[in-house]
Structure 1
């Protein structure tokens, strides 16, 4: 295989000097359930107004699709 040939042709010191990623990377988190519940409360579901919330979701999806 070509990949195996290219690895065999590289001196050992070049293969061990790869850049290592920093160990201090923090995970990126989003509290998605909280965001959804807040949006539902603000846009109609607090009072059981599903039509109003459906309209909000439709407008939001339309805005996102424009990008």
Structure 2
């Protein structure tokens, strides 16, 4: 849109005209940040599940190894 056209329509709108690109940039950065946060929490959840799975496997193998290491007389 032409800024002169905005000036003819409403003088108050001219106050917002220079900030339009800046606000669009801010909104795009905000959406990018939200998307990164959502992505981080999803990955973090998978990492936590993976770590839990690893702990279960570790404890399972420790039981097997400890039962093998127990000397049988």
- TM-score tier, shorter chain, comes to 0.3 to 0.5
TM-score, reference length from structure 1:
0.35
TM-score, reference length from structure 2:
0.33
Which entry has the higher C-alpha Rg, 1 or 2? 2
Higher helix share: 2
